Amino acid sequence: MLQLKNISKNFGGLQVLQDVNFDVPQGGIFGLIGPNGAGKTTVFNLITGLLRASGGAIEFDGANIGKVAPHKITERGIARTFQNIRVFKEMTLLENVVVGMHDHMHYGFGSLLFNLGSFRKIEAQARERALELLSWVRLDHKAEMLADSLSYGEQRKLEFARALATKPKLLLLDEPVAGMNPAEKTELMTEILNIKQRGFSIFMIEHDMRFVMGLCDRIAVLNFGRIIAEGSPGQIKNNPEVIEAYLGKEDAE
Amino acid sequence: MTELFTTIGFMDWWDGFWSTYNTVIFGLGVNAMLALSIYVTLSCGLLSLANAAFMGIGAYTASLVSMQTGLPFPAALAIGGALPALVALVIGIPTLRLSGVYLAMATLGFGEVVRVIVLNMDITGGPLGLNGIPLKTEWWHIVLLLAATLYILARIRRSKIGRAFEAIKEDEVAARLMGVNVAGYKLLAFVIGAAIAGVAGGLNAHYTFTIGPGNYAFENAVEILTMAVFGGTSTLVGPTIGGMVLTLLPEALRDFNSYRAVVNGLILVLVILYLPKGIWDPRRIRAFFQRKTQAGGNN
Amino acid sequence: MLEQQLINALSLGSVYALFALGFTLVFGVLGVINLSHGAIFMLGSYAALLLVEHLALPLWLAMLAAMLASGLIGLLVDYLVLKPLRARNAPHLAPMIATIGVATILTSLAQGLFGAENKRFPVGTIPEDSYNWGHLHVTAVQIGIVVISFILMLVLLAVMRRTQLGRALRAIAESPKAAYLLGINVEGLFYLTSFAAAALGGAAGVLVGLSFNAITPFMGQPMLHKGIAVIILGGMGDIRGAMIAGLFLGFAEVLTVAYISSDFRDAVGFGLLFLILLVKPSGMFGKVLERKA
C-alpha cells in the first residue's frame, strides 16, 4: 500500500535518513521503531508532504506522492496524528471531528448563504458521522464540550476520531501513547485494535516496545537514519542488531 | 425645550441635529463594516493592515465612477467593492504563502505602496484627493449593507468555511493535514475583507464629499484594528460594537481630540494585555452571569 | 555620476541596515515583531536633539546618551508589554498588535510634547566638512554614518559569534525552553536584547536626524516599513541577512530616485519585497525558521 524506496533526507549537511526501504502492507498494523533521533518523525513528515525527500520515492497505492501538497495527501487517503497533540482546543469535540470531514463536504456558496437543502443535509450528515466516530472512541457523551477540557488521553482519542473523519485508507500514528500511564496505554491499545478491525490500515511510530510488540503485525527498525531490520515482532525481538541498537544506547548512559 | 413638543419644533430640532451629526451616525455603520472587514481576516489568524488601503481603493473607485460615468449609486458601490477584492486576489496569491507575522507585515507594506501610488496618480487628484463627490449615501444604504455584511458573515461562520477559518487560526499545520487548503482559505478571507472595506469606503466617500490619501493611511488601519480588537473577535457582535463605540467615543471626548491617537494606542495595549478577547466576550459574560446567579441562589 | 550615487546609497543603506539589525535581533531572540521599533528610532533622534539643545553636549556624547535613553525605553516596553504576553504564552499576533499600540502612543506623545513641525539641530552642531575626489563629493556626516553604523554592526556580529553571551543568545533563538534548561538566564537576556536592539534603533535615529537634519514625530513610520521590508528580504532573525538587505535597499532606493523617479522611493522596498516573494517565498537568504518552543 505504502512503499518507501531508497528514501534519503538531509538537512544542510546533516544526513537524517539514508537508503530507507520498506513496504507498509494493506490492512494490519505496521510499526516503525528506533531510538530517539533515529529519524522516525522525519519519515512521517516526508509521507505527509510537510517535507520533501532529498532522494528516493514514496509511493501510495502505486502513485508517487513525493511532490504532493499536504492537504492533497489527506485527500488521497493518508491521515495523521501528532506526537504533541494538535487538537483544536477552542472548538468542541464535534467541531474538531467535522473539520476532518472538510474535504468530503460539498455544497455551493448559494446553498450556504441561504440555508438551502444541500447545505442543511450535508451539515446534518457530517454531524451524525462525527458523533458516530466519537462513539467509536467512546467520547460521544462529551461531544459538545471544548477540546481543551479533555484529559491528555482523551485528547489523543479525539485526534484519532478526527483523523478517521478524513476517510483515510492509511492512518499514521505518531507516538500515540507518549506521555501516558499504563492504564491509558492499555485502553488505547484496545482503541487501535478496534480501528484496525474496522478495516483501516495503520502505520505507527512508537518507543514503547511492549506496546509495539503487542499490537503490530510487522515492524521496521530505524537506527541513525537507516533501516536495520524488518519483520514480524518475533523476528525483531530476537534480532541482534536491534538489541544492540537499543541496549547499546542503554549501556552508554 | 417646550418647542420640542410641537411637531414643527421637533422637526427643526431634528434638522439641526441631523445636519450636525449625520456623519457620525453614518460613521457608526461604516466603521462597524470596517471593523468586520478586519475581523474576517483575524478569524483565520491573519492580521491584515491593508484594509485602510482597500477602503481607499474602494472609495476612490466608487467616487470616480459616480463622478465620471453616469452609472447609478449601487453600481458605483459594487465596483468599489470589486476592485479592492481583485487587488487583494492579485497581491494575496504570492504573499499568502507567508506565515503569520511575515504576512501581517507584508500587508502593512502593501498599504504603504498603495498610498504612494495614489499620491502620484493624476486621476486620483494626487495629494489633494477628490472633491465634489455627489452626496448619495442615505441612512438606509448603510443599514442595508451592514445588515447584509452581518448576514453573509454569519452564514459563513456556520459553514465549512467558518470552521476552516477557525481551524487555521488555531493550528495551521493540523488544519492542512485535515485536508484544509490553508492558503486558499486565507486568500478567501483576505479578499472578502477587502471587498467589505471597499464598499465601506464607497459609502463613506459619498457622504463626506471629499477624500484624500491621508484618509487611508497606516493610522487609519490602526484605528480599524483597534475597533475590532476592542470589540472582541470571537463573535460578529464584537467588531460591530467596537466600531460603533469607537465612533462615538471621540464625539463624547471632543476636548481630547488631539490625544485621540494616544487613546487608540492605549486601548490597543490595554485590551491586548488585560482583555484579550475584547469587551464582547460571550464566554466571560456567561461566566459572569453564572457566578451572579450562583451567588443569588446561595442567599 | 553612478559612483556618487553609490556613495549616497552606502550611507543610506548603512542606516537601514543598522535599524533593521535591532528589529531582527528582537525577532530572532524574543520571537516577536516589535512594531514600536520605529517610534524608538524617532525618540532616539529627539533625545540627541534635546541633549544638544539644552545641555550643549558634544555630538558624540549626545549620541551615546541617546542610545542609552532609547535602550531604556525599549527595556521599559519589553518589561511592561512584552513580558506579560510572554508569561501567558499569548498568540503571536498579540505582541504585534500591542506594539502597534505602543508605537501610536509614543508617536502622539512626541507630537504633543515636541510639536509636529520639522526640528533641526542647532546651527554648528553638524559638521559641515566635505571632501572632494574628482567628481565625487562626500560629506563628513556621510562618512560618520557609514563608519559608526559599520562599527556598531561589527560589534554586534562579534558579540554574537565569539562571546559566551552571543552563544547564549543564539541558543535562545533556537529554543528558549532548551536554553533555560541549560541554565541560561533567558528572561534576563530578553531584557538585554530589548535594550540593545532599542539602543541600536536609537543610534540609527540620531544618524538619520543628522543626515537629513529634519526631525519629526512621524519619521519612525516610514523607517519601520522599510525595516520590515529589509528583514523579510534578508530572512527574519538573520543578522547578516539584515545587514546585506539593508545596504541593498539603500542602493535600490537611491538608484530608483536617480534613474526612475523620486516619487516612488518609499514604495521601492515593498515593491522589491513583492517581486522577490513571487520568486522565493523565504526571502533572499531566509530559511523560514520554525522556532521550537
pLDDT digits 0-9 by tens, C60-108:
899 999 999 999 999 999 999 999 999 888 887 889 899 999 999 999 8
| B101-130 residues touching C, CB cutoff 8 A | 101-102, 104-106, 108-110, 112-113, 116-117, 119-120
* Percentage of residues of chain C with pLDDT beyond 90: 39
pLDDT at B194: 95
Interface contact B179-A119, CB threshold 8 A: no
Residues paired with residue A8 on neighbouring β-strands, in sequence order: A55
* Percentage of residues of chain C with pLDDT beyond 70: 94
Q: Is the pLDDT reported for residue A129 higher than 50?
A: yes
Average pLDDT score over residue span A78-92: 86
Is residue A40 a contact partner of residue A66, using CB atoms and an 8 Å limit? no
Give kind and range of the element (H or E) at residue A19.
strand A14-24
d(CA C223, CA B218): 13
pLDDT at C290: 45
CA angle (C283, C91, C29) in 5-degree steps? 55
Taking each continuous run of H as one helix and of E as one strand, the counts in chain B are 12, 2
d(CA B4, CA B13): 7
pLDDT at A253: 40
Q: Provide the whole-model pTM.
A: 0.83
**Closest Cα of chain B to A169: distance in Å?**
14
Higher-confidence position of A179 and A214: A214
Q: How confident is the model at residue C37 (pLDDT cuts 50, 70, 90)?
A: very high
| Cβ count within 10 A of residue A128 | 10
Is residue C106 a contact partner of residue C202, using CB atoms and an 8 Å limit? no
Residue A35: DSSP 8-state: S
Interface of chain B toward chain A, CB-CB under 8 angstroms: 152, 155-156, 159-161, 163-164, 166-167, 170-171, 173-182
Question: Cβ contacts (< 8 Å) between A46 and chain B: which residues?
Answer: none
Amino acid residing at C281: P
Supply the mean pLDDT for chain A. Answer: 85
| A191-230 residues touching B, CB cutoff 8 A | none
Is residue C292 a contact partner of residue A83, using CB atoms and an 8 Å limit? no
d(CA A45, CA A52): 8
Secondary structure E strands in chain C: 130-133, 136-139
Contacts of C170 (CB under 8 A, 6+ apart): C160
Convert the pLDDT of each residue in B27-52 to its tens digit.
899 999 999 999 999 998 888 889 99
Interface contact B268-C92, CB threshold 8 A: no
Give the 3-state secondary structure of residue A232: coil
- Considering only CA atoms, give the Rg of chain A: 19
Q: List all chains that touch chain A, counting a touch as 3 or more CB pairs closer than 8 Å.
A: B
* Separation in Å, CA B147 to CA A94, B8, B240, B242: 30, 33, 11, 16
Contacts of C197 (CB under 8 A, 6+ apart): C21, C22, C23, C25, C26, C34, C37, C74
B-C contacts at Cβ under 8 angstroms:
121
Query: For residue C236, what is the nearest residue in chain B, using CA coordinates?
Result: B102
Interface contact B98-C281, CB threshold 8 A: yes
Q: How confident is the model at residue B257 (pLDDT cuts 50, 70, 90)?
A: low
